[in-house]
Amino acid sequence: MAKVKFFIRDPKAIRKTSIKFSFTYLGKRIRISTGEQIFPAHWNNKAERVREIIDEPEAFEINSRLKSLESLVCDIYKNFMRDGIIPTEKELMQEIENQKIQPTLQNNNKGFWDLFNEFVEYKRKRLPDVKDFDNSLRKHLLNAEEKWKKPLTFSSLKLKDKGLIEILDDYLTYDAKNSIGEKGLATNTVGKQFKNLKVFLNWAFSNEYTPKFDIKHIVTKTEEVDSIYLKQEEVDAIFNLDDLTDKESLIRDLFIIGIETGLRFSDFTRIKPQYIVDDKLTINPIKTISNKKNIVQIPISSKFRAILNKRDGLPPSYDGKISDFNKQVRELAKIAGINSEVVIYRKIGGKQSEKVYQKYELVSSHTCRRTFCTLKFL
């Protein structure tokens, strides 16, 4: 009986390691490199698949390709057996390589933008918000296409030198306008666009809409960004604010809960009464919700308990936009007098820059986790 197995090359690696494929039949065995690489922590050894978590945005596409490879090998083996042939390892490997080189492409009459629109609709069914693809990435690709002065195609993205990727990188770094109207995006913003582009390309590859090509030249740039945290007296100042509107009070309470629990915005805004038993909050963070083992228990702090008590035991919830939440939190921080000067260094428009902010201007939902880690552990 034939047996299929996927495994990672080095489970103890601190960097990405390759995914291998093993096929055993009639006392023979072949091993194939899938061409995929992931961090060991993102591999589900029992399911023999990549965990579908936020830290691994290409998990679905990678798993689709693994499934396609498994089907391909099994079908080739069945065809040999149907013809009464027991293939040698070399014969089986050769046939696999032949069929991998000449894949049957689906919908190859569709153009780049037809497939991009199809991809956005696919994502719309799986994500609460697709603006990163439908608005941002689409806008930047259209502008790069205009600078390219040719129709955007998959072939144009394939070019490593003097191709559309080079045009797009140049446009994002020096010409695209940021949120305050200045030319040139921050390094992490540029990196995010390329990351999202790679998600789209891998979707197209896994669905065999276009032949797979090397995308190592599409680099996801990143730089470490200075993130602020609040001192205990600053947290207390926000917690003790009074004469607030109902909306301001709601935002303030959620912000404090985020600080007291260390949860992300997507989690501290959806806490339900049944998650709280006695003095503990039990929740499965959305970022790792596919893994039941990642359920966490967090003690209810005195500030968290005070918020629950004034709300008759019901935790506050919020279904608005994170941008609106952050705007309101900054206003509350300003009212609380959190106005010390902070210097932030960033690379924008290809140049290193520094800017002085008043601290309240930098407060956001992410400040919760940074403050939690600093005050609770350092």
pLDDT of residue 358: 93
CB 230 within 8 A of CB 216: no
CB 24 within 8 A of CB 3: yes
Burial of 288 (0-12, 13-18, 19+ CB in 10 A): middle
* Per-residue pLDDT tens digits for 319-364: 888 889 999 999 999 999 999 998 877 666 566 777 788 999 999 9
Query: What is the spatial distance between Cα 85 and Cα 71, in angstroms, rounded to a whole number?
Result: 19
The structure tokens listed for 222 are 């990143």
Q: In this structure, what DSSP letter does residue 294 have?
A: G
Instruction: Report the sign of the C-alpha dihedral through residues 365, 368, 371, 377, in that order.
Output: negative
* Per-residue pLDDT tens digits for 142-158: 999 999 888 888 878 88
pLDDT of residue 73: 92
Please give the backbone phi and psi of residue 241, each rounded to the nearest 5 degrees, phi first: -60, 140
pLDDT of residue 378: 61
* Per-residue pLDDT tens digits for 121-143: 988 887 777 888 999 999 999 99
pLDDT of residue 225: 64
Distance of CA 45 to the CA centre of its chain: 21
Question: By C-alpha distance, which of 365, 352, 356, 57 is closest to 187?
Answer: 352
Question: By C-alpha distance, which of 95, 89, 100, 94 is closest to 30?
Answer: 89
CB 209 within 8 A of CB 178: no
* Per-residue pLDDT tens digits for 21-54: 999 999 999 998 898 999 999 999 999 999 988 7
Query: In order of start, what are the domains of the chain with their CATH numbers?
Result: 3-101 (no CATH), 112-206 (no CATH), 232-377 (1.10.443)
pLDDT of residue 102: 47
Instruction: Report the sign of the C-alpha dihedral through residues 161, 162, 165, 167, in that order.
Output: positive
Distance of CA 246 to the CA centre of its chain: 33
The structure tokens listed for 209 are 């809409």
CB 228 within 8 A of CB 370: yes
* Per-residue pLDDT tens digits for 266-307: 899 999 999 999 899 999 887 654 445 678 999 999 999 999
The structure tokens listed for 205 are 């590859």
Owner of token pair 């509107």: 245
Q: In this structure, what DSSP letter does residue 171 have?
A: I
Q: What is the overall mean pLDDT for the chain? A: 87
Query: What is the spatial distance between Cα 186 and Cα 172, in angstroms, rounded to a whole number?
Result: 9
pLDDT of residue 290: 47
Report which residue type is found at 270.
R
Query: What is the spatial distance between Cα 279 and Cα 126, in angstroms, rounded to a whole number?
Result: 34
Q: In this structure, what DSSP letter does residue 129 have?
A: -
Report which residue type is found at 3.
K
pLDDT of residue 230: 96
Query: What is the spatial distance between Cα 62 and Cα 60, in angstroms, rounded to a whole number?
Result: 6
Give long-range contacts, CB 8 A cutoff, 24+ apart: 26-30.
26/86, 28/88, 28/89, 29/89, 30/89, 30/92, 30/93
pLDDT of residue 94: 85
pLDDT of residue 348: 63
In the predicted model, is pLDDT for residue 103 greater than 80? no
The structure tokens listed for 281 are 């909050």
